Amino acid sequence: MEKERVVITGLGVVSSIGIGKEAFLSGLLEGKSGISKITSFDTSNYSVQIGGEIKDFNPENYIDRKEIARLDRVQHFAYASAKEAIEDSHIELDKIDPQRSGVYVTSGIGGMISLERQILINKEKGPSRVSPFLVTQMIIDAIPAYIALKYGFRGETFSAVAACASAAKTIGQALLTIESGNLDIIVAGGAEAPFTPIAVAAFASMRALSRRNDDPAHASRPFDNKRDGFVMGEGAAMLVLESLTHAKRRGAHIYAELVGYGTTCDAYHITAPDPTAKEVIRSMDLALKKAGVNKEEVSYINAHGTSTPLNDKNETYAIKQFFGDFAYRIPVTSTKSQVGHLLGAAAAIEAVATVLSIEKDVIFPTINYEEPDPECDLDYVPNKPREANVQVALKNSFGFGGHNVTLVFKKFEG
């Protein structure tokens, strides 16, 4: 049986640089920073006081007021971006088979806001006052389940949890499911709402976060010599993945094709990357082999690019080892420079940016790149977007635990 080709027919985004696909695109093109002071709680005694917080999101624009309190903020973001993506795909819900439609959505830490709030209630008021909705606010698989419930998609729900590679792995698994012929449509992506006192304190305690509190807009600076840690971000992004057969049958607009997926594990350290980068290299190799794409055909790499000293150096090294001299001819950028690091949802929002690069033939910049690092010496498209013919784009994602995932997107050819 010949494998189904898998195409992207809808995009939805909730981000700190714009809510909705068009606003997100404008923010990317402007080189806008979504990083600012955290306002959702008092950070005055915190070593880290900044993040990619979304200030202008109103869940009532997407969700019935009665349901809002029963859901965590992460579910608000997820549903809003899924709704945007489904509407963008122009799917007529009464004309698709709900048993062949699924939702593959993940998160890194799930409903932390609700969990932390209810822990305090339990401590202050006792166990009888803990919300009966906490479990479904907290668990990650409730995020796709809620979207499936609202749209009646009964094919399958799924969440792959692989730290900061979670959304990439979830999207990759959606590719395999549609290729196999098991489902026609999957809404795939990730959501994250990590701005709670304990989450910020925990990541700050690891010394993983930037402490550039006096200059938030310039704090996320992937590959720059003065980078000092990643900046947490929140939001969600969804892609409607569809079999080419199904998309063509209904005359859908096709943004791009998803053609490759590679995944490996370092088995080296729970947080630090393997300095040999051999499994990152193998992840890229597996993805390109699955895609049937040669190295020299890669037009662009959307990097994991966290703005941490180790990750950026390690990813640059892996790209140079894998691509050889050709690495210097490939534009490499980090969307995290603009929106921060959305943890488990990072790859989802970065995948949307990658698809928009293919659709618009433009490479969005790595902002705040000012002082080159001798060990990070590739073409990072500093500070301004660049017009380019983007035929094949590679998306890297890595996570604590040594998770490595590479996705390959391609300009659609009928």
* Residues with a known catalytic role: 164, 304, 341
Q: Using an 8 Å Cβ cutoff, are 230 and 308 in contact?
A: yes
- Coil, strand or helix at 182: coil
CB of 273 within 8 A of CB of 311?
yes
Residue 240 main-chain phi, psi, to 5 deg: -90, 110
Which residues lie closer than 8 Å to 316 by C-beta, 6 or more apart? 223, 332, 375, 376, 377, 378
Longest dimension (CA), the chain: 64
CB 193 within 8 A of CB 52: no
Q: Residue for token digits 């939001």?
A: 235
Coil, strand, or helix at residue 143?
helix
Contact by Cβ (8 Å): 319, 378: yes
Q: How far apart are CA 211 and CA 194, in angstroms?
A: 17
Q: Which residues pair with 240 in a beta bridge?
A: 10, 187
Residue of 356, 342, 314, 353 whose CA lies nearest to 166? 342
> Which of 253, 251, 136, 258 has its CA nearest to residue 188?
258
Q: Which of 253, 259, 107, 239 is nearest to 185 (CA)?
A: 239
204 phi, psi to nearest 5 deg:
-65, -40
